[in-house]
Amino acid sequence: MDLLRSSVLSLIVFLPVVGSIIVALMPKEKEDLIKKFAIWWSLIPLLLTIWVAIDYAMNFMHGNQMAYQVKLAWIPSIGVNYHVGADGLSVPLLFLTALLTTLGLYYSARVIRKRVKEFFLLFLLLSTGMFGVFVSLDLILFYVFWEIGLVPMYFLIGIWGNPKDRPQYAAIKFFLYTLAGSIFMLLAMIGVYLSTGTFDILQAAQTGVWTNAPMFATLSFWAFFIAFAIKVPSFPFHTWLPDAHTAAPTAGSVILAGVLLKLGAYGILRVLLSLFPGQFAQFGWIVAALGVIGIVYGAFVSLAQTDLKRLIAYSSVSHMGYIMLGIGAVAVALNMKGTEGAAESAAMAFNGASLQMFMHGIITGALFFLVGVVYERAHTRDLKVFGGLSAVVPVYYATMMFAGFASLGLPGLAGFWAEFFTFRGAFGIVPWLAVIGVIGIVITAAYILYRIIQSLFLGEYDPKRWTHWTTVFGEHADGPTDMALFEKVTLWPLVILMIILGLWPTPLLMYFNEAATNILSNLHF
Amino acid sequence: MNVLEILRLLAPEFILLITGFAVIGVDLARRRQDEGKTAATVAVMGLLLAALASVWLYLGHPGEIVLFTMAIDVYGLFFKTAAFIGVALVIIASVNFMAGRSKYLGEFYALLVFAALAISVVVSASNLILIYIGIEFLSITSYILAGFLRGDKRSEEAAIKYFLYGASAGAILLFGLSILYGVTGTTDLATIGDLLLRSRSAHWLGLVALMMALAGIGYKASLVPFHQWAPDTYDGAPTPVSAFLSTASKAAGFAVLGRVILTAFPQLQPDWTQILGAIAVLTMFLGNLTALKQKSVKRMLAYSSIGQAGYILLGLVAVNQSGNFGGMNGLMIYLFGYIFTNVGAFLLLLAIEQKSGGSTDISQFKGLATRSPALALIMAMFMLSLAGVPPTVGFLGKFYVFAAVMNQQMLVLGALAAVNTIIAAFYYLNVIRHMYFSESEVEGGVMASRGLMTVLVVNAVMVLAIGIFAQFFMTWVNNSVSMIIANGF
Amino acid sequence: MSESIFNLTWLIPLPTALAFFAIILFANPKKRLSSKIAVGGVIIAWILSWAVAIMFFVNPEFTEQPFDLAVPWIPMGNIVFHMGVAVDAVTAGMLFMVGFVLTMIFIYSTGYMSFPGHLDPEKYPDAAKEGLDPRYSRFFAYISLFATGMLGLVVADNLLMLFIFWEIMGLCSYLLIGFWFDKSYPDPKQITPKAAGLKAFLTTRVGDVLFMMGLIFLFIHAGDLNFQNIFANQEFLHELSTTTVNLPFFGAVTWAGLISMLIFWGAIGKSAQFPLHVWLPDAMEGPTPVSALIHAATMVSAGVYLIVRMSPLFSAAAHGGSGVMMFVAFIGAFTALFAATIAVAQKDIKKVLAYSTISQLGYMFAALGIGAWVAAIIHLLIHAFFKSLLFMGSGSVIHGVHHGHEHAHAHGHGEGGHEEYFDPQDMFNMGGLLKRMPITGWTFIIGGASLSAFPLITAGFWSKDEILAHAWADGHMAVYWTLAAGAFLTAFYTFRQIFLTFFGSPRTEAAEHAPESVRSMTWPLVALAFFALFGGFVAVPVDFPVVGGLASDFLAKLMEMQGEFYGLHVAPARFDWTPALISMTLALSGIVVAWLVYGWKPLKAKQSDPLRRWLGPVYTVLENKYYFDELYYFIAVRPTLWLASFFYLFDRGVIDRIVNWVGAFNRWLARTLRRWIDEYIIDGAVNGVGLVTTWTGAVVRLIQTGQAQNYLLILLLSVVILLLLIPFGS
Amino acid sequence: MTVPLSWYLIFATALFSLGFFGVLSRRNAVAVLMGVELMLNAVNVNLVAFWRYLTPTDLSGQIFVVFVFTVAAAEAAVGLALMISIYRTRKTINVEEINALKH
């Protein structure tokens, strides 16, 4: 048991690499073998993450310390360690990553037809980068995984992107954008070392970074923040996102929206909040303001879209705004230590932000899968050519309804709790910004119902409006065909999660709440 | 110091000397039979032997000055080892390529061996005279190598340009050295350092000498504004030679620059920090921005290697006493990794040229991933390493260099370097883009000879290994630095 | 015993929820089965809720300490939020009404939905053949889910849970209004079901968002949302009503005032009060059972229920000197009159009822505004009975007329034929239906009488009279006279409707051939008619002459006792002849006027509404609902869409350029390098890189000439420059 | 009466500049090479002068000069060889016409 505990995180992180190496050794022609292997292999990390979640809940709750810590010297001369560990914040995100990876592989096994081997190889590799970021407690390790996640996604977008959406441009843009952020983050990390003498996040947090040199502290803060804000992406660094999401293959978009965006938010909570509480408190309002702008702006822009996938991409900008708002509120609350209610509002905001990370993961993941469902059949995403599908493809309609209403924050579905907690926190700390942010809720409802539901499903189905239908497997079809079994298998777990967590978020929330209380108490709240 | 001792300390040099002549001899014997394979083997053997010898010396942590002119210290030995390995790789890879392109294969390999010898002399030269001789030795062998493909206009042009530029730069260097001698009355670097330290009056004359020396040494390291020969020569010279020039010979340039500046001009640090800083920024920007435009991958690599020189120089700019981020160790690990990456990248062009008959146009790379995945993967790794993506060695080097810069709190310099990393990433990714995203225009896979393939694999493995098992190499580098930092600086 | 019954409370919302999932997951293909499941579920819910309600009615002592059963649900920071169910007098009353009405309407729907009248048989042959709506099962799934929402809302013991079910009802309302999403009309200006659904959801969403803000502020201050905990805690309410917050434009307002105002906006949205009333009339696009259920009996009255629940807070705010109660009274009274005026000029049988619903809800809010929350809740219950009755009656009428229309065409002698559109809901296409469909007719008349508060014998009279009596007794004269005027109009438009529909002679073939509806539709009418008549006898003032002695007022008593627990002291209005007589006279005179206009000389076919002659332009204004839809289109919808597209252009055109570092370049070079712009204008990055490369290209061409001697010259120059730099060295 | 050191230095510098001018101005590669030789010899003047005036006892100055001669010779040899091969292919050794590699 202890052996497993000490190795489980490393297993989760590196098993996908092993998997991709094995895939690399397989002959290119054995596509079915490759697909099956990749899917089954990806189940191992999934099971491990589930085990971690259960074990953590049973044995490590209320410990206020990183569980499953492993610390091996990597570059001892400069104190760079392979230091991994998990707490309430990372455990659910690990599960999310594993789940979406498996589903993505399973879905892609049916729809990816060219260069299969490379796809599955890269997809496994990608998950390593994401797992790594969520568990690494050493800045350099964090950076390494951060960049490793970048490369496979660059390939996924570039190779399997839909030629109409200029995937090569999108891929380069995505890569350069993130690199531009992260390279300065690297400089800031070095700065952290120079000031604290360690790359270890926990130690650095204890010693405090650039406490003597506020100028450097501010600079490093912004370097980190911009890197994370680009990844999130926060307004105004979001413009890579619509292109990347639109161009990427379905599973790629799912991972991109479901997990990669979370890396940024996670980084803010894990690194920025613990290393630069002073600066964060000082500039927290900017973060919150950016979040609010993102919410409203993203919602409005989504309302203007007629391309389904691009719409959902922009909706991500809006939804990630909630996270930024929540985090910003937490930061501002650091200034209000002592004022009654500040502490619990901060906890609520923290919960809201982290809940949104997870919920947006499953909801937008599902939405992108659903885009894939219609795109694989109609080969267009132009909302103007659809209508009345509700009568023709009821299962698809129902699934989309669940995802859509979850996304607009309907109580009883997953999205609501994230929004509720975020606003509960934000109203307690930055009420005016929260008031503006509330506009976003209404606009969100508008674009989900008016753009997606109405133009896809309602109205009278007119077979003459769009004629290039095929089945999901590419055979010719006279009209839209309802979801195939594999699509149901991909989507329904997510829908079920939405419903369960919507009615009873506690199983998820207890982790985040644990993390919130711990991290905030470490900030001497 | 008796003869045996000298022999021991100069073992690598002697080995190379013997190897060089041995190669010619062997070649004379069996040129007709096997198109220089034996010669190449002998050369490689000799080089590896020399490398072993220098490692063996290294383990003894020597610190002697041999014959008043050669400082046999870990600093020099590090560069020797690196350079020998680099040259050896070049030779292995070029066997198949050179065969049929030239009749004088023996001379070719011999010249490479002698070039290695020149490098090993120059990196441990601690005396103005030997520095000059060593640099000229290296230059002259390089001229011949660059122009080795007789009857090939490009090769000849590369050679003549290199020659004219090198000769003039050498003359300027020499003028500088003469002034230095005039100011101090000695030709020994360490003594010069002490004298300059004592007499403040010699300050500005010392600077004059430094500036002129900079021109003469900087051109070897292809630093802007002394870089202009480089693109044409790298482009025109036979690809193995370009690989050699852009790595081993460049490393030698940096080694000399480091030794001269740190032993002879430590007290001028405020001055040369600014100047070298400016030069580094110029080098990075010019190299990277011009590389953006290139259509020929070979020429793109030529410019990129100029840009890389900029990063490497940062290590020297930010040199300081700190044990971890002293700057010089950044410079050295960067160079060490860079040798493998860039040699690999250039040599991979051999395969492309074989296929395309000389052209290294970017279009030749289109769809390479589907035609010959292995080569594409290796090339992608080299590109990512050059772009500085972890966990490759390129990242490690950049990390240490940047760390030194930050350590000296040269924030602007750091920021500019960061910006350059982003620009550079664009054209490195561009190669990957063509290899993986585009449909191929030419049919059929790209064949790589066994020798070439082994070299490429070795390089690729090293690119990853150094990055991942960084500690092993870093301890080595740090020790090598400790010596030069200790004396004089 | 009674405790054990109350312990069943948490089960009440479950059967319908299970029915919902059962239908969407399994029973969907089998239509009859689906409807059976749904009805079964709702009947169980009905039995449970009546068990609980009656148990509470017979043990009034529970008002001392209402039942509450809560379990820890969600960890929030260091506290744990509890969810649970509570039963007090208000809940019991609501459960009694909701359970019953739900069941009636479910049964009614089985009949109503078995006629896909809106579909032409050519397009949906099988639907026409089996005589069931093509999405029959889906309908029952939706209303089951709605039933869950309503029952859950009623039993919820905390505001958050209430809000959750509140929103779920909103969802169902959206789904059911747009149920016939493929329906479209020849007249493009007429709103389609799908648009109506969207409109309803978004309009209410505006209110809901404010509601959520209020909820969150209350949560922030109370640290809890359980009704009993918050409202039994007087000092907390007092503290809330004394601490103030500074707002722009409003200055310092008490937190109690702010919170209750925000929550009230939620009610405004849900209960379609002015100015958010616009969605309810269009919601009539939904199937009639939906109108009866959601838009008359239950969901819209949930707004009133919410304010009743919150009334301790409101009164606290009023004590704190906040004007929120006055605002509530104003909105209520104004809406009551305003909607009534519109109802006068409608020709669509359901639209009339829709506006009357808005107006009646206005009465309730007015009552709440003047603190007569008992009268409000009782009017809510009774209104639910007779208004659902009226709606279902109208649905039955529509069915009949529609059948008649089909029949007429089937026998060839239809006027006009298919090409010209026949509106089965237009009252001017009806007339004389009392003979054709007696049960529907008489029950409808009973409902109408109750709605227009026909004295003494109808329930509506007692409940409405209670409100008016309170307004008079507490001296809210403005409110009283507004409501009284409303009462007159109510009576008028109700009987206008009755006369137009049921009396006189049929004005169309369709009306002539309209058959009576099936039993599953008529029986619920009868059942509801019973309550429409006698339901009022639960709240007759004791001091009312004669009747007061006979009837009981136990419900009112119960409510007042319950009020004590929440610290609400509501004295029953002392009976006073003046207001009673005034309101009676007004109601009766309304009926009389209606008879004079429409009953005395019934309209002929194709004859237009005489009111149009007499009122002239006013009639047009009323007919167009004071042009509120147009107004909102211009001040809300247009700007939003415009903003959206503007922001999108902004995003592509500006931010995408500025953010990536070279974007600035291209505008600078745009003039000089036309070609590049044309090639790359679309995006910033490649564009910028392109420009940089040309730019560097120029530089390279300048320095990398390939001329060895230029190189050497530059070498020399740079050395010279370096040397010249020396003097500037340190 | 002895000539001051500075005269030698000035002469050497002049010679050096002359050589460099030759390198820049002449089109014929051989002439350019001669310019280079001139520069090297200018430096030799420097070295010898320094040796004579500053460290007459220490021989390193002279040794330096000797080595410079040798290197110059070697350089000239290689250079001329290159030019010959270029002349073979291009029938010219005009430096300006050797500019195939550029940009």
CATH assignment at residue D13: 1.10.287.3510
Low-confidence ranges of chain C (pLDDT < 50): 414-418, 661, 663-664, 666-683, 685-686
For residue B325, list chain A residues with Cβ-Cβ distance below 8 A: 78, 190, 194
Is residue D102 assigned to a domain? Answer: no
User: What confidence score (pLDDT) does residue C425 get?
Assistant: 85
* Facing residue for A168 by CB, picked from B395, B433, B471: B433
- Which residue on chain C is closest to A399 by alpha carbon? C24
As a whole number of angstroms, the distance between CA C298 and CA C690 comes to: 64
Q: Which of C720, C726, C728 to mutate to test the interface with B (most CBs of B within 10 A)?
A: C726
Contacts across the C-D interface (CB distance below 8 Å): 29
> D51: left (phi > 0), else alpha (psi -120 to 50), else beta?
alpha
The C-alpha atoms of residue C195 and residue C181 are separated, in whole angstroms, by 8
State how far the Cα of D85 lies from the Cα of D71, in Å rounded to an integer: 21
Higher pLDDT, C113 or B244: B244
Q: Cα(B70)–Cα(B374) distance, rounded to whole angstroms?
A: 44
Low-confidence ranges of chain A (pLDDT < 70): 525
Q: Which of D60, D85, D95 sits opposite B156 (nearest CB)?
A: D85
B241 domain-assigned:
no
Q: Which residue of chain C has the CA closest to D17?
A: C716
Q: Tell if the CB–CB gap between A410 and C168 is shorter than 8 Å.
A: yes
Q: What pLDDT shows up at residue C672? A: 42
How far, in Å, CA of B264 to CA of B245, rounded?
A: 26
Size of interface A-B (CB pairs under 8 A): 85
List the alpha helices (DSSP H) in A208-260.
214-231, 240-247, 250-255
Tell me which of B160, B162, B179 to substitute to probe the interface with D (most D C-beta atoms closer than 10 Å).
Answer: B160
Confidence of residue D2 (pLDDT cuts 50, 70, 90): confident
User: Which of C659, C712, C724, C728 to mutate: most B Cβ within 10 Å?
Assistant: C712
Contact B314, B373 (CB under 8 A): no
Amino acid at A155: F
Residue D54 lies in a domain: yes
**Distance between CA C243 and CA C320 in Å, rounded?**
9
pLDDT in tens, B410-449: 999 999 999 899 889 989 999 999 999 988 888 888 888 8
Residue D79 has its nearest CB partner, among B163, B171, B172, at B163
Instruction: Count the Cβ atoms, other than its own, within 10 Å of residue A12.
Output: 29
| Residue A475 burial class via C-beta count within 10 angstroms: exposed 0-12, middle 13-18, buried 19 and up | exposed
Q: Flag whether D84 is in a domain.
A: yes
Instruction: Return the pLDDT at C676.
Output: 38
D20 to chain C, closest Cα gap in Å: 8
Tokens 């003498």 belong to residue = A197
Report the distance separating Cα B457 and Cα B378, nearest Å.
7
DSSP state letter for A71: E
Answer left, alpha or beta for residue B2, where phi above 0 means left and psi between -120 and 50 means alpha.
Answer: beta
C-alpha distance from C648 to closest chain B C-alpha (Å): 28
**Chain B neighbours, 3+ Cβ pairs < 8 A:** A, C, D
CA distance A207 to B485: 31
End-to-end C-alpha distance for chain D, whole angstroms: 57
For residue D80, the chain B residue with the least C-alpha distance is B160
Note whether C708 contacts D101, CB cutoff 8 Å: no
Number of domains present in the structure of chain B = 1
Closest CA to C363 of C345, C351, C381, C375: C375
Interface size, chain B vs chain C, as Cβ–Cβ contacts under 8 Å: 79
**Mean pLDDT for the stretch of residues B67-71:** 88
Q: Which two tokens stand for residue B248?
A: 């081993």
The average pLDDT across B379-388 equals: 95
pTM here is 0.92
What pLDDT does C677 receive?
Answer: 33
Best interface-test mutation with D: which of B152, B154, B163 has the largest number of D CBs within 10 A?
B163
| Helices assigned H by DSSP within A31-89 | 31-55
The 3-state DSSP class for residue C347 equals coil
Cβ contact B470–A74 (<8 Å) = yes
Q: Does B433 touch chain A (CB under 8 A)?
A: yes
Residues in chain B closer than 8 A to C708 (CB atoms): 160-161, 164-165
The Cα angle at residue A202 between residues A196 and A204, in degrees rounded to 5: 10
CA distance linking residue B195 with residue B184, whole number of Å: 6
Neighbours of chain A (3+ CB pairs under 8 A): B, C
The stretches of B99-226 forming alpha helices (DSSP H) are 105-123, 128-146, 153-184, 189-198, 203-218
How far apart CA B179 and CA B117 sit, in angstroms, is 28
Nearest CA in chain C to A311: C648
User: Whose CA is closest to A491, among A371, A313, A360?
Assistant: A371
In a domain? residue D74: yes
Chain C contacts of D33, Cβ < 8 Å?
none
In terms of CA atoms, which chain B residue is nearest residue C710? B228
HSE-up of residue C31 (Cα within 13 Å, Cβ side): 15
Instruction: Identify the CA nearest to B342 among candidates B399, B303, B292.
Output: B303
Residue span of the structural domain in which B347 resides: 266-489
- Burial bucket for residue A192 (CB in 10 Å: 0-12, 13-18, 19+): buried
Which of C25, C31, C74, C150 is the mutation pick for testing A, counting most A CBs within 10 A?
Answer: C74
D23/C contact by beta carbon, under 8 A: yes
The contacts found for C691-697 with CB under 8 angstroms, 24 or more apart, are: C691/C662, C691/C665, C691/C666, C692/B289, C692/B292, C692/B423, C692/C662, C692/C665, C693/B289, C693/B292, C693/B293, C694/B293, C695/C665, C695/C669, C696/B289, C696/B290, C696/B292, C696/B293, C697/B293, C697/D103
Give yes or no for a contact between B325 and B404, defined as CB atoms under 8 angstroms apart: yes
Predicted pLDDT at A399: 93
Those residues with Cβ within 8 angstroms of residue C61's Cβ, 6 or more apart along the chain or in another chain: none
Interface confidence, given as ipTM, is 0.89
Looking at residue A339, what DSSP letter applies? S
Question: How far is the C-alpha of B215 from the C-alpha of B213, rounded, in Å?
Answer: 5
How close, in Å, is residue B293 to chain A by CA atoms? 16
Q: How many CB atoms lie within 10 A of CB A92?
A: 26
| A296 and A439 Cβ atoms separated by less than 8 Å | yes
Question: Which residues make beta-bridge pairs with B70?
Answer: B66, B125
Tell which residue, C377, C334, C564, C590, has the closest CA to residue C470: C377
CA of C719, closest CA in chain D: separation in Å? Answer: 12
Task: Search chain C and give the residue with CA nearest D21.
Answer: C713
DSSP alpha helices (H): ranges in A340-388? 342-378
- Measured distance CA(B84)–CA(B54) in Å, rounded: 10
Chain length of chain C: 730
Contact between chains at D43 and B181 (C-beta distance less than 8 A): no
**C696 to chain D: closest CA residue:** D103
Number of structural domains chain D divides into = 1
Tell me the residues of chain A between 332 and 361 that have a Cβ less than 8 Å away from chain C.
Answer: 341, 343-345, 347-348, 351
Tokens of C62: 């529970």
Instruction: Tell me the three state secondary structure of residue C138.
Output: helix
Give the pair of three-digit tokens for residue A346.
Answer: 């901060």
Mean pLDDT of B356-368: 90
Q: Is residue C659 within 8 angstroms of chain B, CB to CB?
A: no
Task: Please name the residue of chain A whose CA is at the shortest distance from the CA of residue B326.
Answer: A78
Mark yes or no for CB contact B436/A158 under 8 Å.
yes
